[in-house]
Structure 1
Amino acid sequence: MRFTFISSAVALVASTLLLNGAEAQQLCNGYADLCAKTYDQVAYATTHNAFAYTPPGALAANQDNDIPTQLKDGIRAFMLDAYTSPSGATNDIELCHSYCSLLDAGPLSTVLGQFKTFMDQNPNEVITIFWENAGNLTPALFQTVYQAAGMTPYLYTQATGNTTWPTLASMIASKKRLLNFVDGGADASVPWLMEEYNFIFETPWQITKGSEYPCTIDRPKDQERGMYVMNHFISGQVTLGNQTIDVPQSSIAAQTNTADLASHANKCTQTFNKIPNFVAVDFYEQGSLLQTVAQLNGVTWNGKVATPAAGTKSSAAAGTIVGASSVVASLAAAAAVFAL
């Protein structure tokens, strides 16, 4: 009898461990229900100009938290801008906003190290990077930087014209779970750096305060694709000489990223008869981005909340910017750039 009891207890413990292990393996981007969905059936919380978070309150800053914090919080798609390194380095890429003199977030090699650390430690996450190739850099340079950072084992490639995407579970099992799309300059020599507009279209990105949130195809012009980016961020405009700069609007981000976000997502879902795959916002920690994306995915939000911004940030209630000296400094720097 005692032997039977012990055997039963061992069997129960073993089955519990197996069940728990199976459940852990079934989590994909934080939700078990996403594992069976193909990549193109899922919505991803996305940060616009994800690298543009420093200095706090800067004119060109689109985010309040750094990329490691964004990853920890549940952001799974990142928009980055690629420029030639100001130092003249031929084996790295600089992350800048509009001009490196306006906002320079440093070398890509550092940021890829942050991505690698997260992906090494979180094997059930599928990550996407969107590249704005502002510096007209070659795919070979991207290849050099990614290889040096040790990212090659994670890189996923989808053949042009192939509209059948794998499930998140199969991407995780293969370890090929980092996708990279570029808006220009892609070629067959680096197949993992995929031409964005072969697979994805975007809604308009230049949205000013008080204007309607659009659900039209902006890029590539009037050409629908299997997936889409819903750009959802408000910009003000500052004119310096003959140049106009779009200025992120942190002071209204709480409203922009809550009721306005849900309404925009519902509108675009109805317009295109499919959910937005990449929900791109500024100041993601304000509002309810993560809850909205969970709703789009048809899953019960897991309760995970974004990390509050460190340091100064905008006051949505007052509609003013705390730490305005940083903005003034940025305006002065921008003016100096355009004076050259």
Structure 2
Amino acid sequence: MASTTIIMAIIITSMAAAIRLASGAALVGGSCSGGAGGCGAGLRCTSCVPPPGTGPAACARTTPMDPKAAAHGAALPFNRYSWLTTHNSFAIVGTRSPLGSAIISPPNQEDSVTSQLRNGVRGLMLDAYDFNGGVWLCHSFGGKCFAFTAYVPALAVLREVEAFLAANPSEVVTIFLEDYAAPGSLSNVFNAAGLTKYWFPVDKMPSKPGAEWPLLKDMIAENHRLVVFTSRKGKQGTEGLAYQWDYVVENQYGSPGLVDGRCPSRAESKPMDSTAQSLVLMNFFTTNPSQSWACANNSAPLVRRLRTCHDAAGKRWPNFIAVDFYMRSTGGGAPLATDVANGRLQCGCDTIAYCKSGTCAMPSSSPAPSPHGAAPGPAAAPTPSTIFSSSSSPEPAAASAK
């Protein structure tokens, strides 16, 4: 694993440019205590000592830098940005089914979809099933939803998305649907949630290899701020749901996709290096959701995985970085990885914090930052070789189900 000093240097670099810490607020890795715990904006006081919640608490990042706040603003094509994405965004720790049943399927996140969006998550992965007279977000056994695996009606979550888009008119959200719903079911729910006014039309998506998406600023100006993909072919013409595999390449999800040094394609996806698809989604989570694994791997190993999947995807950085327990890490976590990907996409830099006027303005050297105390001046980000050089920590053995 890369040294703590190297990883902390990247984290402090991003944080210094991303937020203004309150006087005396703790930095990433700094000691804190419960709740807000004295951490700065964009941080959370948490413990990642196994099992999670035990041992001393420290400040960890929850929020990536806004890529629209860099030199290019929203003036780049949509496929030149990277977005923090939550896997099974609806499967939240402690949820009790509205049907009154205890849920036995494992959770993947720790806060509501509304909170995820407020923390800078812009990609949501949702599993949709026809169940109990409507569309529900659910895990399944044998392809069927049951009361003890059904988390929430889809309409409730989609209304959270609508409320966020209404309150944040410069934000764009992407939804990836693992779609088991009957034809017409999902479009009815999107209509009921009031989301059609934000719909990005399929006919504006790039259809030729190498073609760019519209500029992000134009998508915002035209209020086309909700991009929706379905895994089910045939709904594009009838419901306006874009068939994901025509536009996105995705690596294998779960433990089988975490083999060190490889970034294999998901079975449904075209090969990672296919240029016919304009967006790249990188999965980074275990088959069996684990807060402890996220704690240990959502920082340095995740950043290194960016390089592996970049090489596999025809030298393309991921547009979506999908993780479990996105707030769990020993430092910069998934927000840091998103900053790194955006830096690479926008100016070829190791973090978007140093993208200035379309170029990388990264200092060549600087003393190593302290992981505690008030914020120092911006620290130098390490070179690409130091970020991506070390091998990943051991991955868990593959399990049998998503």
Fold shared, TM-score > 0.5 on shorter chain: yes
Equivalent AA in structure 2 for residue 250 of structure 1: Q
1:137 aligns with 2:182: yes
Q: How does 1:45-194 map to 2 (within 5 A)?
A: 45-55=84-94, 59-86=105-132, 89=133, 92-98=134-140, 99-133=145-179, 135-138=180-183, 140-159=184-203, 161-162=207-208, 163-190=211-238, 192-194=240-242
For 1:100 and 1:58, how far apart are their aligned partners in 2? 10
Shift in alpha-carbon separation, 1:84–1:254, aligned structure 2, 3 A: same
8 Å contact from structure 1 (residues 78, 128) kept in 2: yes
Distance across 2 between alignment mates of 1:44 and 1:117: 20
Offset of residue 268 of structure 1: 1.4
In the other structure, the counterpart of 2:10 is none
Larger radius of gyration: 1
Contact 1:136 1:185 in 2 (8 A): no
Q: Does the aligned pair in 1 maintain the 2:66–2:120 contact within 8 Å?
A: no
In 1, Cα distance between the equivalents of 2:171 and 2:225? Answer: 7
- Determine the structure 1 residue equivalent to 2:269: 220
Deviations 1:299-333 (A, max 9, x none): 2199xxxxxxxxxxxxxxxxxxxxxxxxxxxxxxx
Alignment CA distance shift 1:165-1:96 (3 Å): same
Contact kept, 8 Å, 2:262 with 2:312, in 1: the verdict is no
Aligned to 1:297: 342
Does 1:231 pair with 2:283?
Answer: yes
Instruction: Name which of structure 1's ranges 254-263 and 55-64 shifts more when overlaid on structure 2.
Output: 55-64
Counterpart residue identity of residue 31, structure 1: A
Contact 2:135-2:181 at 8 Å conserved across structures: no
Distance in 2, Cα, partners of 1:137 & 1:214: 36
The one-letter code of the counterpart of 2:170 is N
Residues 87-109 of structure 1 show CA distances to partners (whole Å, capped at 9, x for unaligned) of xx2xx310001243443221111
The code of the aligned residue for 1:156 comes to: F
Whichever residue aligns with residue 119 of structure 1, its letter is L
Q: How many residues align?
A: 259
Higher helix share: 1
The corresponding residue for 1:263 is 304
Deviations along 1:202-226, one digit per CA (max 9) or x if unpaired, are: 1011316984263122232536222
Counterpart Cα distance in 2 of 1:248 and 1:122: 31
The structure carrying a bigger strand percent of its residues is 1
TM-score of the two chains, using structure 2 as the length reference = 0.60
What CA RMSD, in Å, does the superposition of the two structures yield over aligned residues?
2.5
Percent sequence identity is 29
Higher relative contact order (CA 8 A, sep 6+): 2
User: Which segments of 5 or more consecutive residues in structure 2 lack a partner in the other structure?
Assistant: 1-64, 96-102, 344-351, 356-402
1:59 deviates by 4.6
Please tell me the residue identity of whatever aligns with 1:256: N
Amino acid at match of 2:198: Y
Gaps of 5+ in 1: 1-26, 236-246, 303-340
Q: Which residue of 2 aligns with 1:23?
A: none
What does residue 276 of structure 1 align with? 318
- Equivalent AA in structure 1 for residue 116 of structure 2: Q
* Equivalent pair of 2:68/2:74 in contact (CA under 8 Å): no
Give the direction of change, closer, same or farther, for the CA distance of 1:209–1:183 in structure 2 (3 Å limit): closer
Alignment of 1:3-18 (within 5 A): none
**2:202–2:241: 8 Å Cα contact kept in structure 1?**
no
Change (3 A) 1:204 1:210: closer
User: How many angstroms does 1:85 deviate by?
Assistant: 2.1
The DSSP-based 3-state class of the residue aligned with 2:353 is: coil
